[in-house]
C-alpha cells in the first residue's frame, strides 16, 4: 500500500491533534546544545594539537576532515536507523556513541597519538551524525509547517549557545601557554615525548566529563515519552510513491549545506591562528580563543533574532540577505588588517546564524514520509566541513592565512543562489497544489 504523497501528508500541521509540543521541543533542544559544544571544541583542538605534534595547516585540518567526514559516511546509515527504530531511539543511539568517542580521548592522549585523536573524533562525529539526522527533521515536523524555520532557528540558537561557551571552556581547561616551537624542535626525542604527553593530558578531564554527561543525557532522553510523528517517517515494508531525487530543492539544499558548513568551519578553525598573526591581532592563543567565542556567540544572538524575524519574513529572503552580508564581511577582512580585519570576520558569525536551519528547512520541504531520507542527504552534506577547511589549509600554506579566506566568499555566493532560486519546492517550481 502506497503512502500518501508528501504534499498531502504534510498539508495538515502536526499540532492539529491538540497536543502541546513545548515539552518535547525543550527536551530535544538540549541535544542541539551538546553537539554544538562538542563541535566547537574542535576549534580549540586545532591550535592545541598543531603545537603538540608540530603540524602544518594542511595536516592539522585533518581534525575537521575526520570529524566532518564522518557525516558523509554515517548519514545514510543513520537515516536507516530512524526508519528501523524511530526518531527517539535514534537520538539515544547517537548520544551513547558520542559518549564512547569522548572516552576514547583518554587513550589518544595517553600515548599520545595524532591518528588516535582522529579516530576518537570519527566515533564522536558518528554519534553526532545520528543525532543530527534524527533531531533536525524532528523539530521541523514538531508543529505547524509554516513556522518550521522559526522553530529550527530557535533550537539552533541553543546549539550556538554551546558553540559560544566551548571556546571559553577549551581555553580554560585545554589550552596552555603557547610553546616556543623553535625550542620544542630542538628537544631530544625523550624530552619531546615527555612534552607531548604533558600537553596532551589536558584533554583527558574535559572529555571524560563530557562523556559522562552524554551517557546521562542518553538515559534521560530514553526515559521521556516523546510524541511519534508518523507522517514524516518511512514505515518499514511499505512503498512510498515518490523519490528524494524528484525534489530539486533537496539537491540544491544539500550543496548549500556543504558549502555553508565548509565556510563556517573554515573560518572558525583558523580564527585562533588568524588572530595570532602580527598584522591582525598579535594575540596569544588563550586570548584569541576568547575572541573565537564571540564569532559563535554572534550566531547565537542571530538565531534568537532570526527565530522572531522568520515569523514574519520569508525564509529565502532573509537567507539571501545574510549570504550577501557574510560574503562582504569576509572580503573586508581579507582586504584590511588590524582590529578592523578581526572584528569584521567575527561579525560573520552573526550572519551565519540563520543559514543552517533555513537551508535545512527549505531543503526538506514537501518531502513527507521521505523526510528521514532527505535529512540523511542533508546531514551527509555536512562533509563540506571536512573538505573545505583542508582546502583552505592547503591555500594558507601556500599564500598565507590572511588571503586564504577567499574560499568562504565563494561558498556564501552559492548560498545566495540557493536562497533566490534553488530553494523553490516542487509546488512553486511546477505549480503543484
Nearest of 128, 406, 421 to residue 253 by alpha carbon: 421
Does residue 12 register a pLDDT over 50? Answer: no
Q: Is residue 12 part of a domain?
A: no
Q: Which residues are CB-neighbours of 405 under 8 A, at least 6 positions away?
A: 266, 267, 270, 330, 333, 334, 345, 392
User: Looking at residue 199, what is its pLDDT?
Assistant: 87
Q: Is residue 430 part of a domain?
A: no
Q: Is residue 148 part of a domain?
A: yes
Q: Which domain covers residue 264, as residue numbers?
A: 21-227+244-424
368, 3 Cβ separation under 8 angstroms: yes
Does residue 433 register a pLDDT over 70? Answer: no
Instruction: For residue range 133-180, list pLDDT tens digits in order.
Output: 888 878 877 777 777 778 888 888 888 888 888 888 888 888 766 666
Q: Once rounded to an integer, what is the mean pLDDT over residues 35-41? A: 90
Does residue 5 register a pLDDT over 50? Answer: no
User: Looking at residue 262, what is its pLDDT?
Assistant: 94
User: Looking at residue 234, what is its pLDDT?
Assistant: 53
Does residue 82 register a pLDDT over 90? Answer: no
Instruction: For residue range 222-266, list pLDDT tens digits in order.
Output: 888 877 766 555 555 555 566 777 888 899 999 999 999 999 989
229, 270, 332, 392 from 402: Cα distances, Å: 47, 10, 11, 11
Q: Is residue 15 part of a domain?
A: no
Mean of all residue pLDDT scores within the chain: 84
User: Looking at residue 154, what is its pLDDT?
Assistant: 84
Give the phi and the psi of residue 34 in degrees, each rounded to 5. -65, -45
Question: Higher model confidence: residue 235 or residue 205?
Answer: 205
Q: How many independent structural domains does the chain possess?
A: 1
CATH number, domain of 317, equals 1.20.1250.20
Q: Is residue 85 part of a domain?
A: yes
User: Looking at residue 187, what is its pLDDT?
Assistant: 81
Q: Is residue 322 part of a domain?
A: yes
127, 97 Cβ separation under 8 angstroms: yes
Does residue 297 register a pLDDT over 70? Answer: yes
Amino acid at each position: 500500500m502506497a503512502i500518501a504523497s508528501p504534499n498531502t501528508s504534510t498539508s495538515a500541521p502536526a499540532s492539529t491533534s491538540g497536543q502541546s509540543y513545548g515539552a518535547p521541543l525543550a527536551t530535544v533542544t538540549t541535544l542541539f546544545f551538546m553537539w554544538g559544544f562538542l563541535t566547537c571544541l574542535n576549534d580549540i583542538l586545532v591550535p592545541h594539537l598543531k603545537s603538540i605534534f608540530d603540524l602544518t595547516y594542511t595536516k592539522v585540518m585533518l581534525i575537521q576532515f575526520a570529524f566532518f567526514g564522518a557525516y558523509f559516511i554515517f548519514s545514510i546509515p543513520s537515516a536507516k536507523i530512524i526508519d528501523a527504530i524511530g526518531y527517539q531511539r535514534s537520538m539515544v543511539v547517537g548520544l551513547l556513541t558520542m559518549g564512547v568517542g569522548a572516552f576514547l580521548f583518554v587513550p589518544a592522549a595517553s600515548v599520545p597519538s595524532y591518528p588516535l585523536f582522529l579516530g576518537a573524533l570519527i566515533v564522536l562525529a558518528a554519534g553526532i551524525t545520528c543525532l543530527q539526522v534524527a533531531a533536525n527533521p524532528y523539530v521541523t515536523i514538531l508543529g505547524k509547517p509554516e513556522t518550521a524555520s522559526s522553530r529550527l532557528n530557535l533550537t539552533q540558537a541553543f546549539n550556538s549557545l554551546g558553540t559560544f561557551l566551548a571556546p571559553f571552556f577549551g581555553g580554560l581547561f585545554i589550552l596552555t601557554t603557547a610553546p616556543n616551537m623553535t625550542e620544542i624542535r630542538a628537544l631530544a626525542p625523550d624530552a619531546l615525548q615527555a612534552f607531548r604527553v604533558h600537553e596532551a593530558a589536558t584533554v583527558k578531564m574535559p572529555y571524560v566529563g563530557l562523556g559522562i554527561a552524554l551517557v546521562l543525557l542518553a538515559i534521560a532522553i530514553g526515559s521521556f515519552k516523546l510524541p511519534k510523528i508518523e507522517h514524516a517517517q518511512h514505515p518499514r515494508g511499505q512503498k512510498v510513491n515518490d523519490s528524494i531525487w524528484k525534489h530539486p530543492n533537496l539537491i540544491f539544499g544539500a550543496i548549500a549545506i556543504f558549502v555553508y558548513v565548509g565556510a563556517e568551519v573554515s573560518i572558525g578553525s583558523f580564527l585562533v591562528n588568524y588572530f595570532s598573526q602580527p598584522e591582525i591581532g598579535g594575540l596569544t592563543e588563550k586570548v584569541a580563543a576568547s575572541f573565537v567565542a564571540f564569532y559563535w556567540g554572534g550566531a547565537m544572538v542571530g538565531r534568537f533574532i532570526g527565530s522572531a524575524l522568520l515569523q514574519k519574513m520569508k525564509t529565502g529572503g532573509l537567507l539571501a540577505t545574510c549570504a550577501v552580508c557574510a560574503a562582504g564581511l569576509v572580503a573586508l577582512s581579507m582586504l584590511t588588517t588590524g582590529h578592523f580585519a578581526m572584528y569584521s570576520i567575527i561579525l560573520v558569525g552573526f550572519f551565519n546564524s540563520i543559514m543552517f536551519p533555513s537551508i535545512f528547512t527549505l531543503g526538506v520541504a514537501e518531502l513527507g514520509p521521505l523526510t528521514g531520507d532527505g535529512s540523511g542527504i542533508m546531514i551527509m552534506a555536512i562533509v563540506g566541513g571536512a573538505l573545505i577547511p583542508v582546502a583552505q589549509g592547503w591555500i594558507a600554506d601556500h599564500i598565507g592565512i590572511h588571503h586564504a579566506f577567499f574560499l568562504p566568499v565563494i561558498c556564501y555566493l552559492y548560498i545566495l543562489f540557493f536562497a533566490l532560486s534553488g530553494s523553490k519546492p516542487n509546488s512553486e517550481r511546477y505549480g503543484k497544489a
